[in-house]
Amino acid sequence: MMLLPILRRSVAACVVVIVMCGVGWSQQPAALTASAKAKASSASASAPDIARMEQIIQADVAAKTFMGSVLVARGNDVLLSKGYGSAVLEWNVPNSSTTKFRLGSLTKQFTAASVLLLEERGKLSVNDPIKKYLTDLPATYDNVTIHHLLSHTAGVPNFTALPDYEATKTVAQTPAQLIARFKDKPLDFPVGDRFSYSNSGYIVLGALIEKVSGMPYAQFLQENIFTPLGMKDTGYDVATVVTANRATGYVPGAKGLSNAPYLDMSIPFSAGGLYSTTEDLLKWEQGLMTGKLLSPASFTKMTTPVKREYGYGLIISTTKDGHKMISHHGGIDGFNTFLAYYPEEKLTVVVLGNVNGTAPQVIGSRLGALARGETVVLQGEHKQVAVPAKVLADYVGKYRAAPTFAIDITQDGEKLISQATNQGKLQIFPESESKFFYKVVDAQLEFFRDPSGKVTHLILYQNGRELKAVRE
C-alpha cells in the first residue's frame, strides 16, 4: 500500500554509497576493493556500521524487492562494495560492482554538466534563448532559455506522460523526431513560473549539445566526461550492441519477476539513455564534486536550487538532521537508480537496480543516514508505546502538502487514523508522543508544535524522502 510519491530529495556529502539492483534474490557478494579491505582491517570501529548496512540491504533482498550492487565510500575509502542477486536471471549471473545498469534519469546530470562545459568554452550561455541554436522551434519557445530547460521551469510538456508514449516507445527515433512529438503543444505554464519535471526539456538539451558541439551526444560525453574521468564502464546504451556485464531489467508482478518490456534506447536519449556501474559512478562523483570536471562557477550553477530544490540535473536539499544532500534518482523499464553525495561527510550513495521499485532509493537513503551517524529503524523494528487519548486528540485535522494532496488525521478512541487523498484509512501507531508508524507500509509520521504548543504541521517519511504537510 502506498501513501504517495514523495517529492525528490537531493544528496550532498562526501561518503559514497552505491547500490545497484540486479536480478535474482540470493545475495551474490562481489570482491571488495583493496581500499575496502584495508578499511575493514584497519578500522574495526566501522565494522558495526557495515554489519548494519548489510541488515538494511538484506531487508529488501529478503522481501524480494531489491537485486543489485551496493557501494559505500567515505572520500576515497570504499566501505562496502557488493552485488546482490542476479544480473541475468535466466543464467543466474550474479551482480557485482562491475555490472552495468541503465541509469534512467541519472543521465540528466551528465547532460547538464555537458551544457556547462560548452558554456565554459564560450560556445553558449545558459541565459541564451534555446531558439538561438535550435531555430526550428515554434514561437512558444521564444522566451525559453537553456537555464529554464536545465531547471525544469520551461513548461515544456513531458512527452513520456503523453497518451501515445507506451505505443511508440519501441520505435527508434532521432532527436528531431522526438522533439517533433511535443514542440507544437502549448507550454504547461508561463516560462519560469514554476517547476514541472520534464523529460522533454532534457531531450531538447541533448539536441542542443549535438548542434553546438558538432558531434553526437554519446561521443561528446565519451570524449569530455567519461574518458577524462576514467569511466571505462559507462556509455550510451544500445540494445543491439553486445555489451559485456550488462544487466537485464525486470518488473515485479503477481507471479513474480518478468522481463521488462522493450524500450528502444533512442527514446530516453539525453534524458535517460546512459548505463554505468557503481565503481564508475564513484569516479563521477569524485570528479564532479571535487572540481576535476567543472569550474567553481559552473559547479555553483549546477548545484544551486532554482525551484523545488532542483538545480541543473541535480536535487539540492537538506536531510532531517541538517546535512546538505545533492542527489537524483531514476527509473526506466526494468531499472531504478539512486545517487547521492553528502559534502560535509564526503559521502556518496549510489543505488542502481534492475528490478523496478522504490528499493534502491530506500536503501540508499538509509545507508546515507547510517553513514552520517543517524539511527536507522527498519519497518519491523518500530516499537509501539502508549499515548494518552487526549494527546492523540491534538493531532486530529487536515494536513495539506499540495493543492491536490492532503492527509486527514482522525481519532477512534485510543486509535489514530490516517487517510491520504484518494487512499484508504490506515491506523498509525505511536512510538513516542509525536512520532507514529504504519504497519502495512514502510512510512512514518511526525507531528510538530509551535512554541505555544499548537500542532502546526506533520512530516511524512517514506522511501527515504520527507514531505511536509501544514495543518489547515
Q: CA-to-CA distance for 145 and 120, rounded, in angstroms?
A: 17
All three cell numbers of 171 = 520505435
Determine the pLDDT at residue 463.
79
Return the beta strands (E) in 91-222 as ranges. 93-94, 101-102
Segment 185-205 mean pLDDT: 97
pLDDT digits (tens, 9 = 90+) for 108-140: 999 999 999 999 999 999 999 999 999 999 999
All three cell numbers of 333 = 523499464
Q: Kind of pairing, strands 455-462 and 465-471?
A: antiparallel
Say whether pLDDT at 196 is over 80: yes
Determine the pLDDT at residue 465.
79
Determine the pLDDT at residue 42.
36
pLDDT digits (tens, 9 = 90+) for 209-265: 999 999 999 999 999 999 999 999 999 999 999 999 999 999 999 999 999 999 999
Segment 40-62 mean pLDDT: 72
Segment 86-100 mean pLDDT: 97
CA 270 to mean position of chain CA atoms: 16
Q: CA quadruple 198, 204, 206, 212: dihedral positive or negative? A: negative
Phi, psi for residue 111 in degrees, rounded to 5 = -65, -45
Question: CATH top-level class for 1-376?
Answer: alpha beta
Say whether pLDDT at 48 is over 50: no
Segment 199-209 mean pLDDT: 98
Segment 20-24 mean pLDDT: 36
pLDDT digits (tens, 9 = 90+) for 418-448: 999 999 999 999 999 999 999 988 899 999 9
- How many Cα atoms are found within 13 Å in the side-chain-facing hemisphere of 81? 29
Q: What is the dihedral of CA 125, 126, 131, 134, to 10 degrees?
A: 80
User: 435: buried, middle or exposed (CB in 10 Å: 19+, 13-18, 0-12)?
Assistant: middle
Say whether pLDDT at 19 is over 70: no
Segment 39-45 mean pLDDT: 37
Is residue 100 a contact partner of residue 106, using CB atoms and an 8 Å limit? no
pLDDT digits (tens, 9 = 90+) for 318-328: 987 889 999 99
Q: Among the listed ranges 38-47, 51-60, 150-159, which one has the minimum average pLDDT value?
A: 38-47
- The span from the first CA to the last CA of the chain, in angstroms, equals 26
Determine the pLDDT at residue 5.
36
Parse the chain into domains and list their residue ranges: 1-376, 381-471
Single pTM value for the model: 0.86
Helix (H) or strand (E) holding 329: strand 324-332
Say whether pLDDT at 364 is over 60: yes
Q: CA-to-CA distance for 369 and 188, rounded, in angstroms?
A: 36
Say whether pLDDT at 40 is over 50: no
**Number of neighbouring beta carbons within 10 Å of residue 353:** 39
Architecture of the structural domain at 381-471:
Beta Barrel (2.40)
Say whether pLDDT at 43 is over 90: no
Q: CA-to-CA distance for 110 and 313, rounded, in angstroms?
A: 8
Determine the pLDDT at residue 333.
97
pLDDT > 90 in the chain, percent = 84
Determine the pLDDT at residue 34.
36
Q: CA quadruple 144, 147, 150, 155: dihedral positive or negative? A: negative
Kindly indicate the confidence band of residue 44, based on its pLDDT and cuts at 50, 70 and 90: very low
Mutual orientation of helices 107-120 and 199-213 as an angle, nearest 10°? 40
Mean pLDDT of the chain: 90
Determine the pLDDT at residue 16.
44
Closest CA to 24 of 250, 262, 246: 250
Angle formed at CA 314 by CA 309 and CA 315, multiple of 5 degrees = 30
pLDDT > 70 in the chain, percent = 90
Closest CA to 129 of 111, 153, 147: 147
Kindly indicate the confidence band of residue 12, based on its pLDDT and cuts at 50, 70 and 90: very low
pLDDT digits (tens, 9 = 90+) for 365-404: 999 999 999 889 998 899 999 999 999 999 999 999 999 9
Segment 450-466 mean pLDDT: 91
